[in-house]
Amino acid sequence: MPAADTGKFKRFAGWLWRTPFARMVHFAVLLLAFSMLAGAMSSALHIPSNSLKTMDANLASTALTVLPCVLAYWVLARLIEHRKVDELSWRKSPQLLWGVLGALALFALLTTQLWAAGVYRITGYGDAPLWVLFLLTAVAPGITEEIVSRGVLFRLTEEGLGTWIALAVSALFFGFMHAFNPGATVWSSVAISIEAGLLFGLLYHVTRSLWWCIGLHAGWNFVQGAVFGIPVSGIKVDGLLDSQLQGPDWLDGGGFGAEASVLTVLTCGIVSLLLLRHVLRTGSAIAPFWKRERRTDARIAALR
């Protein structure tokens, strides 16, 4: 092969290696490899697995669930994308608390609405171990799902296809990722896509921080299940309060829980509209690659 053709091939191969889709594949392969290693370590050390059904959890099993995802993301950013992992930097970690507080306020508001509508009723008090619920409902899903859905899927799709397509793709992925949960329906998946998928995607776009998203996601799950005793995405959780949802499915969420309630969709939709207003006012939305100017590409490079 002539030297000129060799140079063109190397440039093409380099470009192909760095495309957003290729980096998604890199992450998936890394996650699989690290997860297999974590599974082997768990078996060798006889570490019991976490289980929401039996309410069993331990720090070691939680760490082996979370670390493969964190390591895969770090390797992707540092060794393949050659950038700092600014969206997970320690200087931004206090935003985790703001996300948790936001979730507390948001779900307290939602529960108040459900109670006022006559579909949420407290039936008693539970004695669930909060530490176990924290590991099961908050830590593992909050970190892993946000890295995959926002850190990888939304961020890389936005880089290639723009903000609006990234919002749609990541929201639908996030919603239908819960399609196999107990009590799930097509509507429950659509509801999560709207109320959480769009909200978390917009939040990441505005803040460029995974800490915000992890805090809001983890806080949402924990407050919903461990505090108010409402099923978390269809999964029954014994929380501090024993509660019952009763009413028409469109209002109480049916067998899936409050996340399939129209009240939840409307309330979270209002928050998403406020974030959307900010995006439109600041003009921060990224256009698809075929509509971009050079300054947009420079801005994307600065965000990476």
What are phi and psi for residue 133, nearest 5 degrees?
-65, -35
Is 38 a domain residue? no
Band of the pLDDT at 184, cuts 50, 70, 90? Answer: very high
Is 42 a domain residue? no
Contact 284, 214 (CB under 8 A): no
Q: What is residue 141's predicted lDDT score, i.e. its pLDDT?
A: 93
Is 131 a domain residue? yes
Q: Which residues of 263-290 are buried (b: 16+ CB within 10 A; e: fewer)?
A: bbbebbeebbeebbeebeeeeebbeeee
Q: What is the pLDDT of residues 258-288, one digit of tens each?
A: 999 999 999 999 999 999 999 999 999 999 9
Q: What is the mean pLDDT of residues 9-35?
A: 83
Q: What is the mean pLDDT of residues 108-115?
A: 95
Could you tell me which residues come within 8 angstroms of residue 57 by beta carbon, excluding any fewer than 6 positions away? 50, 51, 131, 132, 135, 136
Reading the block at residue 266, the tokens are 């409307």
Q: What is the mean pLDDT of residues 18-29?
A: 94
Q: What is residue 246's predicted lDDT score, i.e. its pLDDT?
A: 92
Q: What is residue 235's predicted lDDT score, i.e. its pLDDT?
A: 87
Band of the pLDDT at 9, cuts 50, 70, 90? Answer: very low
Reading the block at residue 42, the tokens are 């768990």
> Looking at residue 77, what DSSP letter applies?
I
Is 100 a domain residue? yes
pTM of the model as a whole: 0.90
Is 102 a domain residue? yes
Q: What is residue 210's predicted lDDT score, i.e. its pLDDT?
A: 97
DSSP 92-160: GTTHHHHHHHHHHHHHHHHHHHHHHTT-EEEEEE----HHHHIIIIIIHHHHHHHIIIIIIIIHHHHHH
Q: How many domains does the chain have?
A: 1
Is the pLDDT at 1 greater than 60? The verdict is no
Reading the block at residue 180, the tokens are 């196999």
7 vs 183 pLDDT, higher one: 183
User: Which of 95-99, 172-176, 202-206, 240-244 comes out lowest in average pLDDT?
Assistant: 240-244
Q: What is residue 301's predicted lDDT score, i.e. its pLDDT?
A: 62
Task: Give the domain range for residue 245.
Answer: 90-303
Contact 57, 132 (CB under 8 A): yes
Q: Give CA–CA dist 13/85, Å, rounded.
A: 25
Q: What is the mean pLDDT of residues 196-222?
A: 97
Contact 196, 227 (CB under 8 A): no
Is 80 a domain residue? no
Band of the pLDDT at 51, cuts 50, 70, 90? Answer: confident
Is 190 a domain residue? yes
Is the pLDDT at 110 greater than 90? The verdict is yes
For the chain, percent of residues with pLDDT exceeding 90: 75
Q: What is residue 85's predicted lDDT score, i.e. its pLDDT?
A: 96
Of 182, 154, 243, which Cα lies nearest the Cα of 252?
243
Is 289 a domain residue? yes
Query: Mean pLDDT in the chain?
Result: 90
Reading the block at residue 10, the tokens are 């190397």
Q: What is residue 55's predicted lDDT score, i.e. its pLDDT?
A: 74
